């Protein structure tokens, strides 16, 4: 029987007790029957607000129709048409703020579980060896893509489909950017990332790993050798509070903690070479998605007590609801309204604790959230073995320093026009490199728009 509205088909997950001991995916994903049942809840409303709010405007309704009909192959092609990495976005998009959040059902019951349906069709295609057939009409122009994260992937794939020769430059030893080093495997399994990224070589993108623009290839050289350049260098540089004690052993940036754990697989040490030292009691400063990722990695690395130290309250935490919920289920402890003033250490130079100042909430600030106000003299200390600063990251200086000719904002992001063109014609930028800390799907949207912008630029130049 077709169910109108009703409740979501439950997504089976690893039990809390089990999952805190491994880095495997928390949700199991829908099977075919479950996917069809969830898809049947969709009433195919005329306006399709889900599609309008999707940064890449996927044909969500059409994808769902094909799932209902059991036509998974067709559903996959529909998803893939607008989104180069549906298995990834299906898992990491903030759907509750986008497609699922505007689903008419979200008012009365849960919106259609669009993310998990998207992941289902992508996984189905992967498991059944179904690949999109495409024909590329080769064009003579060459385009360079700097960075192999979500923005770069989407831009490179679209540029290939326009027919351009694309060379992608990645500084690290693996392509994928934040998908590889940032997002932990229990949220985004790495075999899925590897599979989605193999699409790049499939469409004929030349991927050059271990190539740092500005170190072994100069930016000016790229501009000479290539008809256009896309900058998708992300926001990979960590921020530190600048408080006393940051020299101590046992203090990490979130980037370092996640880089070791995810990309270098420190959770498999000593089978894998890269170590991580994670104590029994760990404090994570910040309450965004990255902070939750760090906290949940720490639990899996064996930490007994994991604290989130946040200067506002849980209600204002920037992390996605799902991440926050998962973290709380995993026994993470939330300490609200505190601001770190110094990190404490012993004579051997190891972290032993943190000094925190109590805060209270004041009037809303520019972000609309209440401003945290210091309560003078309210300092107290907490014993900790490990401290991780998850304060958000900013664009990498290494690249910025090499490109003084490119205009930037005061946050170090590149200034672009409505077509994502920088102040230099033919140099286009997108993703976190222009947005600071944003999402995978916004980066994909930028990559797509950038490819179109480059295409138009090249056509103009031909005349």
**Which residues here bind other proteins, judged by CB under 8 A?**
171-173, 181, 208-212, 215-216, 236-238, 240, 242, 246-247, 249-250, 252-253, 255-256, 259-260, 264-265, 269-277, 348-349, 396-398
Q: Which is nearer to other proteins, 45 or 277 (CB)?
A: 277
* CB-CB contact of 157 with 135 (8 Å): no
Task: Give the residue with the Cβ less far from other proteins, 373 or 398.
Answer: 398
**Could you tell me the smallest distance in angstroms from the CB atom of residue 277 to other proteins?**
7
Minimum gap (Å) between residue 238 Cβ and other proteins: 5
Closest distance to other proteins from the beta carbon of 361 (Å): 30
**Least distance CB 85 / other proteins (angstroms):** 22
Please say which residue, 171 or 332, places its beta carbon nearer to other proteins: 171
Name the DSSP letter for residue 219.
H
Dihedral of CA atoms 178, 179, 184, 189 in degrees, nearest 10, equals -170
Element counts in the chain: helices (H) and strands (E)? 18, 16
270 cis-preceded (ω within 30 degrees of 0): yes
Encode 432-443 in three state secondary structure.
HHHHCCCCHHHH
Q: Which helix (H) or strand (E) holds 360?
A: strand 351-364
Cβ 181 to other proteins, closest distance in Å? Answer: 8
Residue 230 or 252 having the CB closest to other proteins: 252
Contact (Cβ atoms closer than 8 angstroms) between residue 175 and residue 209: yes
C-beta of residue 63 within 8 angstroms of C-beta of residue 118: yes
Between 253 and 422, whose beta carbon lies closer to other proteins? 253
DSSP string, 268-298: GTTTSS------SEEEEE--SHHHHHHHHHH
Is the Cβ of residue 238 or residue 318 nearer to other proteins in the bound state? 238
CB of 268 to other proteins, least distance (A): 8
> Which is closer to other proteins, CB of 168 or CB of 171?
171
Shortest Å distance, C-beta 377 to other proteins: 27
Burial of 206 (0-12, 13-18, 19+ CB in 10 A): middle
- Between the alpha carbon of residue 295 and those of residues 15, 143, 262, 266, 322, the distances in Å are 18, 40, 13, 15, 14
């Amino acid at each position: 029987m077709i169910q109108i509205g009703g409740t979501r088909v439950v997504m089976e997950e690893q039990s809390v007790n089990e999952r805190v001991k491994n880095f495997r995916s928390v949700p199991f994903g829908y099977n075919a029957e479950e996917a069809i049942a969830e898809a049947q809840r969709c009433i195919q409303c005329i306006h399709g607000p889900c599609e309008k709010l999707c940064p890449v405007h996927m044909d969500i309704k059409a994808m769902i129709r094909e799932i209902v009909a059991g036509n998974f192959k067709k559903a996959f092609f529909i998803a893939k048409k607008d989104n180069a990495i549906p298995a990834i976005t299906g898992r990491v998009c903030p759907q509750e703020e986008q497609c699922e959040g505007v689903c008419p059902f979200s008012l009365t019951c849960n919106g259609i579980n669009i993310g998990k349906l998207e992941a289902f069709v992508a996984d189905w295609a992967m498991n059944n060896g179904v690949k999109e057939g495409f024909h590329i009409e080769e064009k003579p122009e060459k385009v360079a893509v700097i960075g192999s994260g979500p923005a770069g992937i989407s831009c490179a794939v679209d540029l290939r489909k326009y027919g351009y020769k694309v060379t992608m430059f990645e500084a690290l030893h693996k392509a994928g950017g934040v998908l590889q080093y940032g997002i932990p495997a229990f949220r985004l399994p790495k075999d899925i990332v590897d599979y989605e990224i193999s699409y790049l070589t499939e469409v004929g993108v030349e991927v050059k790993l271990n190539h740092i623009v500005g170190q072994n290839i100069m930016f000016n050289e790229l501009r000479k050798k290539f008809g256009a350049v896309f900058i998708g260098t992300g926001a990979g540089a960590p921020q530190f509070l600048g408080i006393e004690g940051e020299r101590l052993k046992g203090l990490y940036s979130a980037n370092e903690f996640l880089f070791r754990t995810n990309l270098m697989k420190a959770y498999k040490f000593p089978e894998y070479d890269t170590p991580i030292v994670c104590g029994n009691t760990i404090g994570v400063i910040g309450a965004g998605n990255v902070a939750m990722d760090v906290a949940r990695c720490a639990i899996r690395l064996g930490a007994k007590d994991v604290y989130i130290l946040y200067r506002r309250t849980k209600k204002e935490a920037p992390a996605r609801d799902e991440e926050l919920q998962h973290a709380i289920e995993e026994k993470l402890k939330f300490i609200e309204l505190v601001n770190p003033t110094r990190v404490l250490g012993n004579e051997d130079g190891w972290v032993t604790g943190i000094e925190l100042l109590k805060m209270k909430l004041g009037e809303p600030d520019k972000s609309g959230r209440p401003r945290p106000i210091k309560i003078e003299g309210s300092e107290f200390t907490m014993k900790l073995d490990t401290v991780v600063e998850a304060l958000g990251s900013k664009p990498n200086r290494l690249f910025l320093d090499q490109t003084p000719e490119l205009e930037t904002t005061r946050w170090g992001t590149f200034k672009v026009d409505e077509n994502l063109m920088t102040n230099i014609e033919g140099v286009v930028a997108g993703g976190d490199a222009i947005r600071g800390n944003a999402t995978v799907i916004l980066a994909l949207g930028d990559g797509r728009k950038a490819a179109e912008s480059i295409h138009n630029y090249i056509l103009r130049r031909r005349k």
